[in-house]
Structure 1
């Protein structure tokens, strides 16, 4: 397993990390996602750690708390081997204050997560989405307090736009508070939207990128083609998330099959290797229901795509150029070359 530094921190995480969304949950959508019990969860976590995975990502909302609870049960004395990440923001109860990023909800959510995870600190505590009500000043002050109290080591965000992430970083730097060290975003060959503004921002500000759903919710797993799924029980066949442009996605799958055949390997492995080859990607979060699925995906860390492979995959999946990108690329606006 290879490791990458998260942003400008001194922390290194595995290039492939384990997502815990399949742990626990007997109601939809968690049942479709996985609904694994404690024995199945322990088997997956143990297999991942044995292969060198050291980042495990969960969220309070996964399984409505069940994912954190199961993870806390199975980690045991291997807690020290893990960079443990969780997230908060989603609704966790019927009350008016059981959602969002108010100081009240952040503090309550953190205490609840620590209890379920059976630990005294979270290594990476992330906001799960944008809160349109609570000002960043309130949320970031509460997160900074959690860091100073020793209950959180680092803070991060998920699913923010570039301007939202930049505003948060600016507020933290202006106030001298703990700064987001990473952003968790959706990125795959079937969804390259973050290349427009988010990826350039992260590279400029030296922030880590944790990729969720690098296989587009299983669409790029090798089980799907233009005729549908070869596995009726596949999550994507029942739950079409994240959304994709279907025609472009099937063109991507066709190209993936060509590259996979060239390397005598599977489609999923190539799709994950492409994500890992992109500049700015710190780690790709993979989920699984069974150890064999996990093993197949972890093998992507050892696959090195050629320039030809990358060019073919880039060409079939490239985003259409949007304004102001096309005018900023106009060479007539560039300075002359200097010696």
Structure 2
């Protein structure tokens, strides 16, 4: 495994981040524990979760599964850089999710959500606490004051964002600078060969303010995981047919290029992300130990300039704004 620093921090994280969203709804607890053990065995030390993951089955289910794994000991918590998120509405003590202040980024919900996550995760601190979405109604002065308290209490070490626009990152960092606090150190966004809109303004903002980018959905729901070949072999339903048909020629060319290079399509898609300078670690979300194993070799793949250029021809990206659409 290779490691890098998370944004401008001194925190060392693996070049692949283990996503846990499937733990509970699609992957049972024993298998989830086996996947996390395999991740550690392979050198992955960066795990990502959220307080809303698993809520379709049970509130906080995924965090509970991760917490139960930590509780088995063996240095599991100490060896893990743990990232979780808050924002979505969740039931609290004595009230339901639709009740006021059961979500978003008010100081009240930050305090409540953090304590609940710590309880479910069976730990006394979160390495990276992430805002799952922008809260347009809570001022940054309130948000940062609440996080300053959490940092002073030792409950949070670093703070990150997720699904922010570029100007949200700038707004957050300028407010943090006024308070003389570190502010955001990472942004978690959808980013892959098919979804490159963050290149317009999010990535330039992340670079300007020293944030590491943590891409989610690196395979675009399987469309970059060899979908055409799998459908032809009868191993996959065409459940994203409209998006597939819009991009069929590019995806077919991509799959052909992967064969030419001797890699799977999924390996090529992850390797491309690892070649983007601002990317810290793509999030991989295996449902089985075998799916985890198939992703591990991507950190060793080297793509030359001609291959990167061919991928840009298949999936044209964006220049930073405003040059992308103006002079």
Other-structure match for 1:336? none
| 2:14 maps to 1:19 | no
Change in 2 beyond 3 A, CA 1:313/1:327: closer
Structure 2 equivalent of residue 304 of structure 1: 302
Rounded Cα–Cα distance in structure 1 between residues aligned with 2:174 and 2:44: 32
Q: Which residue of 2 aligns with 1:252?
A: 250
User: Which of 68, 84, 87 is matched with 2:63 structurally?
Assistant: 68
Aligned match of 2:202 in 198, 201, 207?
198
Deviations 1:177-215 (A, max 9, x none): 341111111100010000011111111221111111111
Q: CA RMSD in A?
A: 2.2
CA distance in 2 between partners of 1:16 and 1:165 (Å): 23
Partner residue, 2:94? none
Q: Which residue of 2 aligns with 1:30?
A: none
The correspondence for 1:324, drawn from 309, 322, 325, is: 322
Which secondary structure state, in structure 2, belongs to the residue aligned with residue 67 of structure 1?
helix
| Residues 212, 229 of structure 1: alpha-carbon distance in 2 compared, 3 angstrom cutoff | farther
Structure 1 position 216 matched with structure 2 position 205 = no
Q: Which residue of 2 aligns with 1:59?
A: 50
Alignment of 1:260-279 (within 5 A): 260-279=258-277
Larger CA deviation: 63-72 vs 251-260: 251-260
Aligned length: 314
- 1:48 is matched with 39
CA distance in 1, matches of 2:232, 2:180: 52
Aligned equivalent of 1:333: none
Deviation of the 1:259 alpha carbon:
2.1
Residues 141 and 177 of structure 1 are in contact (CA less than 8 Å); yes or no, is this contact kept in structure 2?
A: no
Judged with a 3 Å threshold, the aligned counterparts in structure 2 of structure 1 residues 212 and 147 are, in CA distance, closer, same or farther, namely same
Cα deviation code 1:89-108 (max 9, x no counterpart): 01112222111100111100
Query: Which residue in the other structure is 1:79 paired with?
Result: 77
Q: Tell me, in whole angstroms, the C-alpha distance in 1 between the residues paired with 2:319 and 2:306.
A: 22
Secondary structure at 2:282's aligned position in 1? strand
1:190–1:248 CA contact under 8 A, matched in 2: no
Preserved contact between residue 15 and residue 280 of structure 2 (Cα < 8 Å): yes
C-alpha change, 1:230 and 1:140, in structure 2 (3 Å) is farther
Task: Note closer, same or farther for the CA distance 1:129–1:326 as it changes in structure 2 (3 Å cut).
Answer: closer
SS at match of 1:231: coil
The answer as to 2:222 corresponding to 1:231 is no
Change (3 A) 1:196 1:326: closer
Equivalent pair of 2:227/2:236 in contact (CA under 8 Å): no
Separation in 1, partners of 2:18, 2:255? 25
- The Cα shift of 1:301 comes to 1.1
Deviation at 1:224, TM superposition (A): 3.8
**Per the alignment, do residues 323 and 68 of structure 1 end up closer, same or farther by CA in structure 2, a change over 3 Å counting?**
closer
How far apart are the structure 2 equivalents of 1:100 and 1:327? 34
Q: Structure 2 regions of 5+ residues with no counterpart?
A: 92-96
Rate the CA distance shift 1:299–1:323 in 2: closer, same or farther, 3 A.
Answer: closer
Gap runs ≥5 in structure 1:
26-33, 331-339
- Determine if the alignment matches structure 1 residue 146 to structure 2 residue 137: no
d(CA) in 2 for partners of 1:117, 1:99: 19
The SS at the match of 1:104 is: helix
Secondary structure in structure 2 of the residue aligned to 1:184: strand
- Cα distance in structure 2, aligned partners of 1:117 and 1:256: 40
Partner of 1:134: 138
Alpha-carbon spacing, 1:146–1:306, altered in 2? closer, same or farther (3 Å): same
Map of 2:159 onto structure 1: 155
1:39 matched residue in structure 2: 30
Select which of 96, 101, 104 maps to 1:97.
101
